[in-house]
């Protein structure tokens, strides 16, 4: 599943941002009364904070006008960096003119000096006629499944400050506490030694790919994060932050890439544009789902094997945030064992032939190359099953590879996008002509 641009966080610096176009909020928490927390485009919440259902939270009686006023007062924050409220404020700041308004080092609003025009929005693709319009594009294109909060800071009962989150997901293979008190997270380098030509990018982003990478200040690190978890990270005025995602563990009843995931009978909506670029491909919700469904592992209450769906934690317990990833955890071994048995049965059912002319019309055949490719994938999966050091991520990945190996990559949006190009064993199987 590909829900965000691959270049998203690639520029996130190792040491932090010295200066920035957005003015940092003076504290790590908003000082005010929380009136309402929106989870963008999930449940009863709208895709846009200016939707009329939010009118009542603004003194103007209109969310469109109210949000405009908050922006103009430089009181709309993303990851605690204020969107410059006016063109004068933007033009007055050399950082704004150099890089634009950045969040997680992604430019959300910039000025093109050549054309003397503004671009704004989530990845500022939209050219605006005025600075105000560019800023409106920014605040109306928040990422689905993440929170935007309405605050009253002067006690009049209406919104005068808004803060929004821009966070992304990562799979955590190891956590290291450094001698100087910072933490570093390693997302793993899953099975590169055995990578074949048919495999594409296992990750779309480049963060946390080296051990001892981007240090996270202790105060910004959630120490409940452990190996095998899915976490969220973001950049704020105090540096890089990381928090554990909310685990929902239960029987995987059903799901569909880009649409929904049903755990123990509760349906969780998917969220478009949420970045999973630093999550192993096989642990992105849609891809995990495709592999589980291919091997008919879903809705198996009798087997009783739980999975975990990891969500963005949200303030209001009546809401849920974006699905970030899915993991097999302790059951990854059992799931892969079943998938290997399925693959082995399919392999055992065919005979090898150059063109099928020597194979009876009641018998299925494949070429030696096709046979060997599946045989190798099964051997690789078995090696992962046999090794005591295999992480659940590696086992989930082997399950995904077997699914790709059998069913091919072309019908799978995420796999095809990431460059996986398996033809699919099942599509190669034919009856003989002898």
Ligand X SMILES: *[C@@H]1O[C@H](CO)[C@@H](O)[C@H](O)[C@H]1NC(C)=O
Q: Which residues bind ligand X (CB under 6 A)?
A: 34, 36-37, 47-48, 50, 64, 88-89, 92, 140-141, 178, 180, 182, 193-194, 197-198, 212, 215, 253-254, 290, 293-294, 299, 301, 316, 318, 346, 349, 362-364, 379-380, 383, 407-408, 411-412, 419, 421
Tokens representing residue 131 in the block: 């600075």
- Smallest separation, CB 250 to ligand X (Å): 13
| CA gap 127, 181 in Å, rounded | 44
Query: How far is the CA of 53 from the CAs of 45, 47, 330, in angstroms?
Result: 8, 11, 43
Query: Do 216 and 182 meet the contact criterion of CB atoms below 8 Å apart?
Result: yes
- Smallest separation, CB 141 to ligand X (Å): 5
- Smallest separation, CB 249 to ligand X (Å): 18
Q: Quick check: helix, strand or coil at residue 135?
A: helix
- Smallest separation, CB 322 to ligand X (Å): 17
Closest alpha carbon to 281 in 394, 193, 411: 394
- Smallest separation, CB 415 to ligand X (Å): 9
Q: How big is the chain by its Cα radius of gyration, in Å?
A: 24
C-alpha 386: how far from chain center: 30
Residue 213 class from Cβ within 10 Å (0-12 exposed, 13-18 middle, 19+ buried)?
middle
Q: Look up tokens 């319009």; give the residue.
A: 133
Task: Please measure the distance between the N-terminal and C-terminal CA atoms of the chain and give it in whole angstroms.
Answer: 43
Task: Measure the CA angle with vertex 100, ends 164 and 78; round to 5°.
Answer: 5
Q: Look up tokens 């006016």; give the residue.
A: 86
Question: 114 or 312: whose CB is closer to ligand X?
Answer: 312
Task: Measure the CA angle with vertex 378, ends 373 and 382; round to 5°.
Answer: 150
- Smallest separation, CB 88 to ligand X (Å): 4
Question: 97 or 253: whose CB is closer to ligand X?
Answer: 253
- Smallest separation, CB 162 to ligand X (Å): 13
Closest alpha carbon to 105 in 123, 132, 92: 123
- Smallest separation, CB 280 to ligand X (Å): 16
Question: 277 or 412: whose CB is closer to ligand X?
Answer: 412
- Smallest separation, CB 316 to ligand X (Å): 4
E strands, 144-238, where? Answer: 147-152, 161-164, 168-171, 174-177, 183-186, 230-236
Q: Which residues contact 91 (CB under 8 A, 6 or more apart)?
A: 97, 111
| CA gap 107, 122 in Å, rounded | 8
Q: Which residues contact 102 (CB under 8 A, 6 or more apart)?
A: 17, 20, 21, 22, 81, 108
Question: 7 or 195: whose CB is closer to ligand X?
Answer: 195
- Smallest separation, CB 199 to ligand X (Å): 9
Q: Look up tokens 């025009």; give the residue.
A: 117
Question: 11 or 34: whose CB is closer to ligand X?
Answer: 34
Question: 14 or 114: whose CB is closer to ligand X?
Answer: 14
Question: 232 or 381: whose CB is closer to ligand X?
Answer: 381
| CA gap 62, 78 in Å, rounded | 21
Question: 189 or 194: whose CB is closer to ligand X?
Answer: 194
Query: Do 112 and 131 meet the contact criterion of CB atoms below 8 Å apart?
Result: no
- Smallest separation, CB 384 to ligand X (Å): 7
User: Residue 175: beta bridge partners?
Assistant: 185
């Amino acid at each position: 599943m590909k829900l965000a641009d691959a270049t998203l966080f690639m520029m996130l610096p190792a040491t932090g941002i010295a200066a920035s176009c957005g003015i940092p909020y003076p504290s790590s928490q908003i000082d005010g009364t929380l009136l309402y927390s929106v989870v963008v485009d999930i449940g009863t919440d709208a895709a846009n904070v200016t939707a009329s259902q939010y009118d009542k939270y603004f003194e103007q009686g209109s969310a469109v006008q109210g949000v405009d006023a908050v922006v103009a007062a430089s009181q709309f924050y993303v990851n605690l960096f204020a969107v410059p409220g006016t063109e004068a404020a933007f033009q007055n700041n050399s950082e704004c003119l150099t890089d634009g308004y950045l969040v997680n080092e992604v430019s959300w609003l910039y000025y093109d000096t050549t054309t003397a025009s503004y671009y704004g929005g989530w990845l500022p693709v939209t050219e605006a006629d005025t600075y105000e319009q560019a800023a409106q594009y920014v605040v109306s294109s928040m990422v689905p499944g993440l929170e935007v909060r309405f605050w009253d800071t002067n006690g009049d009962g209406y919104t005068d400050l808004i803060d929004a989150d821009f966070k992304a997901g990562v799979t955590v293979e190891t956590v290291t506490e450094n001698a100087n008190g910072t933490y570093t997270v390693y997302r793993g380098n899953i099975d590169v030694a055995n990578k074949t030509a048919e495999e594409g990018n296992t990750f779309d982003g480049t963060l946390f790919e080296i051990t001892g990478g981007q240090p996270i200040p202790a105060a910004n690190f959630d120490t409940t994060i452990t190996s095998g978890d899915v976490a969220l990270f973001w950049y704020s005025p105090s540096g890089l932050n990381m928090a554990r995602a909310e685990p929902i563990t239960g029987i995987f009843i059903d799901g569909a890439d880009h649409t929904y995931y049903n755990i123990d009978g509760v349906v969780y909506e998917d969220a478009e544009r949420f970045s999973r670029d630093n999550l192993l491909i096989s642990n992105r919700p849609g891809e995990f789902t495709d592999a589980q469904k291919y091997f008919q592992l879903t809705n198996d209450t009798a087997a009783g094997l739980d999975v975990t769906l990891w969500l963005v934690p949200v303030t209001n317990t009546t809401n849920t945030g974006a699905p970030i990833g899915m993991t097999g955890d302790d059951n990854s071994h059992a799931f892969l064992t079943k998938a290997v048995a399925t693959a082995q049965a399919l392999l055992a059912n065919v005979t090898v032939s150059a063109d099928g002319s020597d194979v009876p019309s009641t018998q299925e055949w494949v070429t030696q190359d096709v046979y060997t490719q599946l045989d190798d994938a099964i051997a690789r999966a078995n090696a992962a099953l046999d090794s005591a050091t295999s992480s659940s991520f590696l086992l989930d990945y082997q399950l995904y590879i077997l699914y790709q190996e059998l069913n091919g990559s072309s019908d799978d949006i995420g796999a095809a996008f990431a460059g996986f190009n398996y033809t699919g064993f099942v599509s190669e199987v034919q009856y003989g002509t002898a």
